Structure 1
Amino acid sequence: MSFPIALWQGPSPDGSDEAAFAALDAALRAAAAMGAITLVAPEVFLPGYNQPDIPAHAQLRGGPWHQRLAALAQSHGCGIVIGYAERDGERIYNSAIALDAAGREIGHYRKVQLFGPREKSIYAPGDAVSVFDLGGIRAALLICYDIEFAPLVRSLAEMGADLILVPTANPEPNTHVSRLVVPAHAINHGVTIVYANYCGTEGDIAYCGASVIAAPDAAVLAAAGPGPALLVADIDRQPDPALMQTQLIDYRPI
């Protein structure tokens, strides 16, 4: 059985819904043509991570953004995981959703580990994880900085997650996250991690690209450079048994 997962790395839409959905339409069309189960896109892609007035753009869960995303997924027969600015009453969340190929929401997550003073001034932190079924695989959502926290990754592994889907907005010069941190967490916790970043610039942020799909034995199944890329990898592969770790079983607290 194959299980292809697609990852799209591209520039920010800079607050333009039309630019965002045109890019997603093209990426989903290509991903579906390659048989992908779902496509993972960057953090706060709607309206763009570094836009100047996020609260003015933020939308309700299930609002117009969701409806357009659902229509795209259904049209192409390919699911999508994407970050967006979510409004819930007076609060704004850095959120992500997973839609299946029929456009149904199967996962929803609010970023727990907010990064830096800007995020903390805009967003309220989430307080729950999201684990769900994706085509028969136990999957979970994290967002950017979340993936750097071992206890959070460990909690998902303990809940049975085999696949962690991560929209991100990682700036220069932090390529160590995709080169080192993501593969290390993949092998240490026995999970596949799909880490989807931006490329290019947005305001005063230069993104480092370097999106990656890492397997439970730390094998890099696909990796992007600094420019736009659509990656597809079949994650249904047998990891090297000699490299599989047993920390979840062996850990002995003191």
Structure 2
Amino acid sequence: MPDLRLALLQAPSPAGDCAAAVSAVEQALSAAGAARANMLVVPESFAPGYNSDAIAELALMRGGAWQDQLAKACRNAGCGVVFGYAERDGDAVYNSALALGPDGAELAHYRKIQLYGPRESSIYRPGDAYVSFDLAGHKAALLICYDVEFAPHIAALAAAGVKVLLVPTANMLPYTHVMRATVPAMAANHGITIVYANYCGIEGDLHYAGGSLIVGADGDVLAQAGMGPALLVADVPQVEAARLSTQARDYRRIG
């Protein structure tokens, strides 16, 4: 398969300023493109911000001027983007992620399946479908934050041939075990590269955990951020077959 170079943005929340969110992604795309990345992943609900008090009012319509602006930035940078945002669809609001290619064309659109806690459930409707797409010759899929902590979702995507998971997230303290253990274990157990793009800093009553990371299909951490803003870029290596999990083949169902 062709080589794949992936990037992620770890940044503070735009805190309700959707224009600032798009501008920040434009700048990150320029840098990721200069590093010849194929795709940049940014945090969950980056517009208008995960912990905004006005998500329903600020939620964006799919296909609006903001999407045209991001598409233009992708073309200028020669790099695609996975953009987490609050999506307005009629009376409903979804926690969504949009994937645009280096040519600005829409590759995939996904709605978060596993809403986290009563706050998310009070704001959003859950999604009900996986999505996958071709990313430079690799089969890729989108999940959002809490989704990636559920092994059945990862197993289903792996069974469908997905090799790369791109995951916008908004993980807060004290849940550092997700970056330290859960995401690498999911990658290793299912033979999937995972890009997990988190916030840093403070938004309202949330202190984000940072720690964004890119993990190879054997569970090796290829790049990881600390607690502050970061732009990470990593090449996805070809992993020897002997290092890949055989759990899907070996699993014995009891009962």
TM-score by length of 2: 0.97
**Unpaired runs of at least 5, structure 2:** none
Question: 2:63 — aligned with what?
Answer: 62
C-alpha distance in structure 1 between counterparts of 2:54 and 2:26, whole Å: 25
Question: 2:247 — aligned with what?
Answer: 247
Q: In percent, how many aligned pairs have the same letter?
A: 57
Judge conservation of contact 2:80–2:103 (CA < 8 Å) in 1.
yes
Question: 1:4 — aligned with what?
Answer: 5
Spell out, residue by residue over 1:161-200, the C-alpha distance to the aligned partner (whole angstroms, 9 max, x if none). 0000000000011111011000000010010000000000
Judge conservation of contact 2:16–2:54 (CA < 8 Å) in 1.
no
RMSD across aligned positions (CA): 1.0
Question: 2:128 — aligned with what?
Answer: 127
Q: Please, which moves more after superposition, 1-10 or 200-209?
A: 1-10
Amino acid at match of 1:250: D
C-alpha distance in structure 2 between counterparts of 1:25 and 1:19, whole Å: 10
C-alpha distance in structure 1 between counterparts of 2:22 and 2:127, whole Å: 26
Amino acid at match of 1:217: D
Amino acid at match of 1:20: A
Spell out, residue by residue over 1:96-120, the C-alpha distance to the aligned partner (whole angstroms, 9 max, x if none). 0100011111011000000001000
Q: Please, which moves more after superposition, 52-61 or 109-118?
A: 52-61
C-alpha distance in structure 2 between counterparts of 1:79 and 1:87, whole Å: 23
Q: CA deviation at 1:250?
A: 1.2
Number of residue pairs matched? 253
C-alpha distance in structure 1 between counterparts of 2:241 and 2:128, whole Å: 35
Q: Secondary structure at the match of 1:68?
A: helix
Q: CA deviation at 1:241?
A: 4.2
Q: CA deviation at 1:240?
A: 4.7
Question: 1:176 — aligned with what?
Answer: 177
C-alpha distance in structure 1 between counterparts of 2:67 and 2:252, whole Å: 44
TM-score by length of 1: 0.97
Q: CA deviation at 1:215?
A: 0.8
Q: CA deviation at 1:239?
A: 2.1
Q: CA deviation at 1:26?
A: 1.5
Moved over 4 A (4+): none
**Unpaired runs of at least 5, structure 1:** none
Question: 1:215 — aligned with what?
Answer: 216
Question: 1:188 — aligned with what?
Answer: 189
Q: Secondary structure at the match of 2:93?
A: strand
Q: CA deviation at 1:223?
A: 0.4
